[in-house]
């Protein structure tokens, strides 16, 4: 239900907020619905944390943006209301979770059913936050960590860190090293929970074969972009063993969302089993141990350790290295291995690079988060 604001309060605000001519300003000229961090444009006031103006009817809002409505605080969902300022109705632009809030400048996102520009006001707390997101008919869970120095005033990178088979978000957070890096470097990291404690990347590795982990990953990024101030050009994927397989799968199939990937303990499979056709060149850094018994370093056919009756034929660590260099149209030869066992193709399409870090005699193990992050953060989405 749309409600009218108090007449006197509305008249004072609208009169005091208009420009000298009294004409309404367009959203693109005044950053309609932007946060009030630097004040508001001529003709607008800061109401409930955004630049807009008080109103008593939809007609007063339609000139600001197509579809703008006069919405009273009392008619908003709890997460979109402003309890500290329960006063007037004000002009707002309703949206759905998947709807574009285009047509305004700067670009806007959809939060709690209304378009907003700038950084979203988050209910997440510093430290670990449990969350869920709906994917079709399935509720999926995750843990997301905001670093202690998160301010919400500027966009920060996001890393999705995927656990191995039989793993969990908490175990991955305790082991991968990205939790500590997130605190040091000021980015946000999320640990998704796999159904059957595994990930579905084609023929492998969930026992429930209808699991949509691609949809889950995309929905999770979209949800976190609504809940926190995420830089959409700096969204990355990492993971260990089967989680590394999920990171590779996203690099192959969701390069429109994930800027770069850093898998550990997993390789690409032959294309006939798990195709890899990214829509653009993608930076990839892989960590492998030569004595890995789960995913053989040399490649070949193997079965997942969770008892699933399926065979995956891997390209091997070097084969994956060469295949990814081919996908990224790298030229020349890779560098000699450095002190960390890392060899890199540097001359690749779009400024991407492909790296293989090999631990001689090493088994299935998490790679170096510090080395992985140094590569990821240097390669945002073009």
CB 366 within 8 A of CB 265: yes
pLDDT exceeding 70 applies to what percent of the chain?
A: 86
189 & 313 share domain = yes
Pairing outcome for strands 50-52 and 45-47: antiparallel
Q: For the chain, first and last CA: distance in Å? A: 43
Last residue of a domain, one of 95, 117, 139: 117
67 & 157 share domain = no
Please state the three-class secondary structure of 295-345 as a single string. CCCCCEEECCCCCCCCCEEECCHHHHHHHHHHHCCCCCCCCCCCCCCEEEE
pLDDT (0 to 100) of residue 16: 28
What is the C-alpha to C-alpha distance for residues 279 and 255, in angstroms, rounded to an integer? 6
Q: Provide the CA 180 distance to its chain's centre, in angstroms.
A: 19
Q: What is the CATH number of the domain that holds 222?
A: 3.40.50.1820
Residue 154 covered by a domain: yes
pLDDT (0 to 100) of residue 95: 85
Angle between helices 178-185 and 369-376 (to 10 degrees): 50
78 & 182 share domain = no
pTM of structure: 0.79
113 & 152 share domain = no
Residue 311 covered by a domain: yes
Pairing outcome for strands 354-359 and 283-289: parallel
271 & 136 share domain = yes
pLDDT category of residue 103 using cuts at 50, 70 and 90:
low
147 & 255 share domain = yes
When the pLDDT of each residue in the chain is averaged and rounded to a whole number, the result is: 87
Q: Is the dihedral of CA 161, 163, 168, 172 positive or negative?
A: negative
38 & 183 share domain = no
pLDDT (0 to 100) of residue 25: 40
Mean pLDDT of 344-361: 98
Residue 9, SS3?
helix
Burial pattern 275-296, b for ≥16 Cβ within 10 A else e, equals ebebeebbbbbbbbbeebebbb
Is the predicted pLDDT of residue 29 greater than 50, yes or no? no
Residue 28 covered by a domain: yes
What is the C-alpha to C-alpha distance for residues 161 and 163, in angstroms, rounded to an integer? 7
Mean pLDDT of 110-123: 79
Mean pLDDT of 188-194: 98
Residue 39 covered by a domain: yes
266 & 291 share domain = yes
92 & 144 share domain = no
Residue 382 covered by a domain: no
Residue 230 covered by a domain: yes
210 & 349 share domain = yes
DSSP string, 24-71: PPPHHHHTTTBBGGG---TT-EEETTEEE-B-SSGGGTTTTSTT-EEE
Residue 2 covered by a domain: no
pLDDT (0 to 100) of residue 15: 27
72 & 132 share domain = no
Total domains present in the chain: 2
Range from 22-36, 137-151, 223-237, 296-310 carrying the lowest mean pLDDT: 22-36
Last residue of a domain, one of 82, 117, 152: 117
Last residue of a domain, one of 93, 117, 141: 117
Q: Token pair for residue 16? A: 């005091």
Please state the three-class secondary structure of 84-112 as a single string. CCCCCCEEECECCCCCCCCCCCCCEEEEC
Is the predicted pLDDT of residue 1 greater than 50, yes or no? no
Look up the domain containing 106 and give its range: 7-117
92 & 112 share domain = yes
pLDDT (0 to 100) of residue 98: 57
Q: Token pair for residue 375? A: 């590569």
The region, left, alpha or beta by phi > 0 then psi within -120 to 50, assigned to residue 257 is alpha
pLDDT (0 to 100) of residue 87: 62
pLDDT (0 to 100) of residue 328: 98
Is the predicted pLDDT of residue 308 greater than 60, yes or no? yes
Residue 1 covered by a domain: no
């Amino acid at each position: 239900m749309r409600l009218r604001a108090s007449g006197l309060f509305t008249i004072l605000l609208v009169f005091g907020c208009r420009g000298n001519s009294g004409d309404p300003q367009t959203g693109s000229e005044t950053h309609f619905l932007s946060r009030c961090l630097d004040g508001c444009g001529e003709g607008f006031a800061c109401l409930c944390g955004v630049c807009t103006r008080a109103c008593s009817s939809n007609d007063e809002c339609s000139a600001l943006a197509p579809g703008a409505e006069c919405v009273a605080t009392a008619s908003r969902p709890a997460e979109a209301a402003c309890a500290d300022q329960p006063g007037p109705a004000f002009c707002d632009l309703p949206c759905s979770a998947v709807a574009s809030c285009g047509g305004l400048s700067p670009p806007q996102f959809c939060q709690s059913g209304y378009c907003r520009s700038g950084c979203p006001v988050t209910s997440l707390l510093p430290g670990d936050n449990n969350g869920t997101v709906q994917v079709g008919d399935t509720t999926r869970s995750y843990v997301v960590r905001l670093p202690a120095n998160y301010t919400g005033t500027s966009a920060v990178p996001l890393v999705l860190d995927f656990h191995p088979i039989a793993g969990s978000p908490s175990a991955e957070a305790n082991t991968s090293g990205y939790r500590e890096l997130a605190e040091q470097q000021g980015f946000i990291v999320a640990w998704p929970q796999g159904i059957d404690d595994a990930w579905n990347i084609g023929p492998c590795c969930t026992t429930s074969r209808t699991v949509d982990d691609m949809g889950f990953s995309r929905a999770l990024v979209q949800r976190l972009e609504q809940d926190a101030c995420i830089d959409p050009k700096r969204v990355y994927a990492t993971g260990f063993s089967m989680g590394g397989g999920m990171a590779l799968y996203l690099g192959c199939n969701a390069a429109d969302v994930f800027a770069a990937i850093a898998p550990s303990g997993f390789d690409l499979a032959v294309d006939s089993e798990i195709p890899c056709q990214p829509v653009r060149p993608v930076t990839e850094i892989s960590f492998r141990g030569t004595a890995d018994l789960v995913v053989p370093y040399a490649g070949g056919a193997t079965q997942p350790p969770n008892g699933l009756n399926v065979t995956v034929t891997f390209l091997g660590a070097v084969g994956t290295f060469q295949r990814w260099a081919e996908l990224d149209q790298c030229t020349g030869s890779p560098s000699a291995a450095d002190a960390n066992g890392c060899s890199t193709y540097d001359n690749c399409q779009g400024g991407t690079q492909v790296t293989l870090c090999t631990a001689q005699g090493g088994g299935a193990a998490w790679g170096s988060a510090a080395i992985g992050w140094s590569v990821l953060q240097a390669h945002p989405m073009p």
